[in-house]
Structure 1
């Protein structure tokens, strides 16, 4: 089963799925930007989910976006009326970075039938489909919102596991090349990358319209090269890395998420930091 859904397909299935709006921006100083966009217009019936507070735990030793408290996510899903039989679709503004985080978190919690709207809200608008400003009511307590989550259903890495994978398998760094090589670091206090990690910018997996590129298999072959072994992905804080994992899932490839990512790695000054391009 594909993990993506087109705007036209979602329009046909809209009455049979629960839609989650996960619009979010990493660089904006306005922490309510996603909520503001949602209230200005959204896919009809969609429930808003806040990435920073509902799909991540508070920033700290585990990085800027640690894995969330499962019970927090469970409460969010129940408010949206999700049951063990629900089919879920998540979307964000365009590139599906935040939607992929939602996809990954829900599947990590045991929600199997989750898809991402390819191209996000921009694709919905481009298709000329209707939008709504009506905010659906919470369904918490309703018999239809009775999902129970079970964390640990997808593979994860801690810092030591990421270091081993960089040595013995393939650890992908999903950040922009200039952050990977250490030329600049606009968010975290230390620039560079996990030694042995291979740079694979998230933007390279996208078409110009923000949807996933149609030649994913060829792109993955170029990224992987002749490397063998298990695959893991990290980014700055574990958000855009999920985008890689969604793309790989479309290809039938399982990868592990280093959830703490770079923002956790650099919290321990004893961990090595590499700069420049990795040989080979």
Structure 2
């Protein structure tokens, strides 16, 4: 099975599906660390029929000891998805502004919750408008592409693997750090308690999964990238980032090349908040310079 065709969708194919008799449910997951708020961007224009889902309050639990974006309570996630019309027997397409870094969180959560048909609009809203397709200012339900009403999807957590802090500390395989390289090396830390990375983790910046337009690299290029990082066929791979959001993007990229990986949801925001956990500084997994 070609994972690209079952995981990603282009704007023209999506437009054709939206014009059909039972279009997919569209979820707008625009979000950026530090803003602007995704709901404000949604109000300025979105794909016709899309529902906005808030990453901070509906795709994550409140921040705390478990990190900045802990996994949401199943009841909260279920309510948000049903409000948006998500049902088990209906395809869902998620998108964000361009590079899928926040859409991937929704993709991962839906699969973790047991949904079997979820795709990501490759290149996001930017790709949609570049292809000449229109945006809407209307609320869902008042558009030519109808939302289909409230959904009936039941969240059943656990369909995808996760690991906690102790598990990340003792991870037996390859642990990838999906943050930007300067954060991995400990040169800067804009949001979390301490700089550095989990000892033993390998730097794998999320933005190296996509091209300049925010579209995923071809499968061959992604496969070569992950082989170079040590993610061979026999490797057990786990991924973390700052708070479990962009790590899902790297898990999606691994999925495209036929590899499944485990998410550490608390990620560096949880790890660095515990002073008993060590932090490595520098370009190498063990923190050394050579």
Fold shared by both chains (TM-score > 0.5): yes
Q: Per the shorter chain, which TM-score range?
A: over 0.9
Contact 2:174/2:236 (CA < 8 Å) preserved in 1? yes
Contact 1:170/1:227 (CA < 8 Å) preserved in 2? no
Q: Note the 1:1-280 alignment, pairs <5 A.
A: 1=3, 2-14=6-18, 15=20, 16-28=23-35, 30=36, 33-137=37-141, 145-165=151-171, 168-214=172-218, 215-224=221-230, 228-278=234-284
Aligned equivalents of 1:170 and 1:159: distance in 2? 15
Aligned equivalents of 1:196 and 1:183: distance in 2? 18
Structure 2, unaligned runs of 5 or more: none
Aligned equivalents of 1:162 and 1:92: distance in 2? 29
Q: In the superposition, relative to structure 1, how do residues 78 and 22 fare at CA in structure 2: closer, same or farther (>3 Å)?
A: same
TM (norm. structure 1) is 0.93
Deviations 1:7-55 (A, max 9, x none): 1111111142000000001132x4xx21111111111000000000000
Contact 1:23/1:93 (CA < 8 Å) preserved in 2? yes
Deviations 1:59-88 (A, max 9, x none): 001100000011111111111222210100
Aligned equivalents of 2:193 and 2:156: distance in 1? 34
SS at match of 1:36: helix
Aligned equivalents of 2:124 and 2:228: distance in 1? 26
SS at match of 1:232: strand
SS at match of 2:102: helix
Query: Number of residue pairs matched?
Result: 274
